[in-house]
Chain A
């Protein structure tokens, strides 16, 4: 009596909640059941596919899909952990950049006397003639006569002209001769600045030596610019003839330029500087060039820990016509970069302390196909004339130099020499100046194609500079400081230093944050495929498996059915024909007889041996619980309907 209620309850439980074993008695059956019922479609295709090869292919496809999933997921994970932090990276220690320092005056004027005395004499004479500010103001006409008698080379080569009101006549300033201007007129100064009084226009004319009617007139609204440009032309001619070793000797030595040096709290000297000869700026000195050992680095920001140098700028030894400002030029650059002082140098002045604070930014662009930049410059069809790493600037200069050598036959003085070429001078290439100006004109107007060939570098380092200036030495400390520095300068200097001969320079990191700007592709392959997956799922509730399935059913299988139909029709037609004309065709047997061949066709026979479709419906994914879906019953009746869908 006591057990009866318990049994009742268990019986009831068994009835209401039937306990079932596994879905299939054996392991293979269970697998089959799983494959048929799972939502992982590839699995189902393995089971339902007909034919061993088909099944094998589906197994392979499913397995490779699993592999792909693993790979792509790993990539997504890696993206998640890496890309998100690449904007700013901090370092405890930052490499100090190379700092190149040049005196604005390239060569000691006193040493250059030998080469430039002739030119300077004539420039002075020209100034006398044009502006009459010399000692003997009244003797203008006579000096002109002197000139003609000495037969000045420089004015004969390129005479300075005064252009009269665009009337296409010009007066040769030193001789007073009028001449007609042919060819085109180029205004080097913008006409907006022009005073309007066009009588003041001074310029010079460059002619094609081979064809004297081909001329170009270069005018300047200000006589200062005209004379400087004119001087520079002759100066480059002269300098081009002096060998490099001599030029290095004519320029400043490290002892001349550097009075004191202090880096990262420690004393340094000229051994920390590397000489670098720049064609326009003479000897420049690069601190931390990396050529003599490891690149220095700083671990603390602030002026105390940067480079501090006192420079000696001998103002009295300046070339009066070539440079009109006093001081030094500095540039902060990477050790592998070429210092383009003439383009992007910062000028520092004398009798002042210039502090230059730096912010370091490193940028990285994605190369092709994301943007048009080059990693190493190796893919650019311009030879790199500088033995430094590629930059857009280097490419443009090299490209221009190459064009110069090709069309003018000699190389421009301000840029390095290509192999086998030499610098222009008008003894050897009388035509080069005209050629150079025309070429430069073309280059600026982007007609040389250099701007199209040269591409940006993909990765570059940049130091943003903040410059501030204080008065140095202060009036009260001037006295002792000049004393100490004069002694340091050494015994060979007899005079006491003047504060306008000195410049104090500090270069330091403002903070040790490295800004790293990098590009990441917005669309990777993974994202593309994921988007596909989303779209396929959204619109078709389907995956790659179902795309393959569609290809299998609608392309391969449909084709095979059509082919078989055609074959059967052809066979039928043949047999009918054969039935009527059997007697005549007796001898056509064996390999010639198409009827024989088809007997052995594997596809056909296997097709004939197909097992009939099973009576009971195949097990499959449990249909969604839409009430509209009543497939089992609908199918057997409605198959002819669906059949109509297919071929049409």
Chain B
């Protein structure tokens, strides 16, 4: 056998080709040629299909060299349900039961202000002016402050006892200024001290800005006061306020009905109304786009019961969300200032996560290890809050006031758990730094 063997004639070559070729059918028929007519026909067919092949090749090549790309996106314009809309007036109630304590707290805040920033006057005449000399060390200041507030506590104590409940404001958490020797310059921070139950472990929750410190300090006391309120106080007696806040409500040109909203009270954002919270009423079907076909409200943002140290902004907080979803106004709410007309155009984006092998997500929250404390549909925020509340109960023995309580638990207040603040702030920073495994336990919703 040679290296390459060639054929002697075309006859031989064709014989070999017809016997061994891998092009099936057609070529065999051409090769067979038992009938000239048939052979000619099949030859034509073969040539035609060759032609088709090259034409298709050309198309494919031109397509390939155009380098197209694919981006999948779909648009839907069928009528939808109008989303749920929550509006809050940023004016938290002074609950009757806690009114006295709140006033007392405000007096305490006023005293702290006077102590830190001088009596109600300009910053120049601060009594700290001389004592806050650059070398003033923090320990001596601590002593100063505790004695200072010690004086005032005596008469405040008396008043607290007069109130109907057994709750009394604690003076262990007074605001003090601490000085740090910075690079060439003194930095002062304002904060309050938190200790664990034995008093052996303490830290300052301090802020470089007095404003932030005062707000946080007030919020901490406020939580303690509110925690002792019985859970059922609230909404019912304030039901009549609807007329006070919503002056006019129209949807799609028709006036809203009393059944269209749900009222709740938020400890920071005040009185809130959720319109179309269930999303089942055909009244709220969105038929046409455009300003006249949406929801139009005239709201009153009065601050008659205002607690000046709790909410520092005036206006209305608005959130647009899905039906059956607890609105977390602090995350996705936005503000509207009084005195202006605001038009809000909305557009819905739906993100579907594949789940399974592609990434962790949950369809209805049933497979999440955390017991949800909100009886609405699953959201990541709801899960995180529930997870934190469970951690709170486990570590500190009581619940955080801003989140709902599981059955049988109580909110924290420092009359019962004097050290809860210490526990809470540490737990909270652990949550933020991902050292609490809430972020691992709470997957995103799949849609």
Contact = CB atoms under 8 A, between A and B. Distances in A.
Interface in A417-448: none
B189 A267 contact: yes
Interface stretch (A85-93, A315-323, A385-393): A85-93
A370 interface: yes
Contacts of A383: none
B124 A494 contact: yes
A339 B73 CA distance: 31
Interface string A557-576: 11011001000000000000
A297 B332 CA distance: 19
Nearest to B318: A468
A629 B208 contact: no
A452 to B, nearest CB: 21
B7 A484 contact: no
A560 B5 CA distance: 10
Q: Which of A300, A471, A486, A549 gathers most chain B CB within 10 Å?
A: A471
B184 interface: no
B31 A642 contact: yes
Q: Which of B25, B110, B123, B335 gathers most chain A CB within 10 Å?
A: B123
A35 B117 CA distance: 98
A250 B13 CA distance: 94
B212 A262 contact: yes
B74 to A, nearest CB: 12
A88 B109 CA distance: 48
B359 A44 contact: no
A349 to B, nearest CB: 10
Given A260-B209, A638-B32, A471 B69 contact: no
A485 B208 CA distance: 11
B314 A302 contact: no
Given A303-B330, A540-B23, A484 B309 contact: no
A617 B15 CA distance: 11
Interface in A242-262: 259-262
Contact of A302 (B331, B337, B433): B331
Interface residues of B, number: 107
Interface string A283-308: 00000000000000001111111000
Interface residues of A, number: 125
Contacts, number: 333
A641 B36 contact: yes
Q: Which of B25, B309, B312 gathers most chain A CB within 10 Å?
A: B312
Interface stretch (A2-10, A174-182, A228-236, A521-529): A521-529
Interface string A10-52: 0000000000000000000000000000000100110010111
A354 B68 CA distance: 43
Interface string A187-224: 00000000000000000000000000000000000000
Given A52-B3, A88-B351, A553-B17, A471 B313 contact: yes
Contact of B315 (A268, A299, A471, A630): A471
A606 interface: yes
B1 A51 contact: yes
B328 interface: yes
B335 A468 contact: yes
A477 B23 contact: no
B439 A92 contact: yes
Nearest to A55: B1
Given A52-B1, A519-B69, A560-B6, A355 B335 contact: yes
A78 interface: no
A543 interface: yes
Nearest to A89: B359
Contact of B336 (A370, A470, A545, A617): A470
A275 B189 CA distance: 23
Contacts of B23: 540-542, 546, 549-550
B11 A310 contact: no
Contacts of B331: 301-303, 510-511
B194 to A, nearest CB: 15
Q: Which of B14, B43, B113 gathers most chain A CB within 10 Å?
A: B14
A57 B313 CA distance: 83
B291 interface: no
Nearest to A268: B208
Contacts of A579: none
Interface string A471-494: 111111101110111111101011
B187 interface: yes
B433 to A, nearest CB: 8
Interface in B235-286: none
A93 B49 CA distance: 58
B337 A603 contact: no
Nearest to B210: A484
B151 to A, nearest CB: 21
Interface stretch (B59-67, B135-143, B195-203, B393-401): B59-67
Contacts of B30: 645
Contacts of A645: 14, 30, 33, 39, 43
A472 B209 contact: no
Contacts of B29: 628-629
A44 B1 contact: no
Contacts of A366: 67, 69
Contacts of B63: 523
Contact of B313 (A264, A473, A543): A473
B19 A617 contact: yes
A496 interface: yes
Contacts of B26: 540-541
Interface string B100-134: 00000000011001001110101110100000000
A490 B192 CA distance: 21
A406 B266 CA distance: 64
Nearest to A646: B10
Given A470-B336, A542-B22, A480 B309 contact: yes
Counting from the closest, the 8 A-B pairs by CB-CB distance are A260-B209, A470-B335, A468-B334, A41-B22, A474-B314, A302-B331, A470-B315, A50-B5
Given A488-B209, A561-B7, A620-B19, 9 more contacts: A52-B3, A85-B359, A262-B212, A302-B328, A303-B331, A487-B117, A488-B210, A642-B14, A645-B14
8 contacts: A260-B209, A474-B90, A486-B122, A629-B29, A638-B32, A638-B34, A639-B15, A647-B10
Interface of B: 1-26, 28-34, 36, 39, 43, 49-50, 52-53, 56-57, 60, 63-65, 67-72, 90, 109-110, 113, 116-118, 120, 122-124, 126, 187, 189, 206-212, 214, 303, 306, 308-309, 311-315, 317, 328, 330-332, 334-338, 351, 353-354, 358-359, 381, 384, 428-429, 432-434, 439, 444
Interface of A: 41, 44-45, 48, 50-54, 84-85, 87-90, 92-93, 259-262, 264-265, 267-269, 299-305, 310, 352-353, 355, 357, 366, 369-371, 466, 468-477, 479-481, 483-489, 491, 493-496, 504, 510-511, 513, 517, 519-523, 528, 531-532, 535-536, 539-543, 545-546, 549-550, 553, 557-558, 560-561, 564, 603, 606-607, 609-610, 613, 617-618, 620, 623-624, 626, 628-631, 634-635, 638-643, 645-647
